Amino acid sequence: MSRRTDNVLPAKCAKCAKPMSTPVVCDYCHALNPSGEGEDYFALLGLRQQFDLSGEEIHQKFLALSRHAHPDFHADQPPEVQALSLRISAKVNDAYRVLSDPSRRGDYLLGLLGGASSAEDKSVPDGFLETMMMMQEEIADAAASEEAGELKRIGQVLQTQHDGLLRRLGELFGQYDEAVVCEATRTDLLREMRRQLNAVSYVKKLLSQTK
The CATH number that applies at residue 63 is: 1.10.287.110
Write the CB contacts of 41 (distance below 8 Å, at least 6 apart in sequence): 94, 95, 98, 99, 108
Residue 52 structural domain:
11-100
- Inside any domain, residue 39: yes
- For 95, residues 6+ apart whose C-beta sits below 8 A from its C-beta are 41, 44, 45, 62
Averaged pLDDT for residues 78-95 = 93
Is 198 among the domain residues?
Answer: yes
The model carries a pTM of 0.89
pLDDT in tens, 39-72: 999 999 999 999 999 999 999 999 989 988 888 8
Same domain, 125 and 203: yes
| Residue 109 included in any domain | no
**Chosen domain end from 73, 100, 127:** 100
pLDDT in tens, 167-184: 999 999 999 978 767 888
Question: With 50 as the cut, is the pLDDT of residue 133 above it?
Answer: yes
Q: What is the pLDDT of residue 52?
A: 94
Is 6 within the bounds of a domain? no
Residue 110 covered by a domain: no
On the 0-12 / 13-18 / 19+ scale of CB atoms within 10 A, 188 is middle
Strands of the chain (E only): list them. Answer: 11-12, 19-20
Question: In total, how many domains does the chain have?
Answer: 2
In angstroms, how far is CA 66 from the centroid of its own chain?
Answer: 18
Has residue 9 got a pLDDT over 70? no
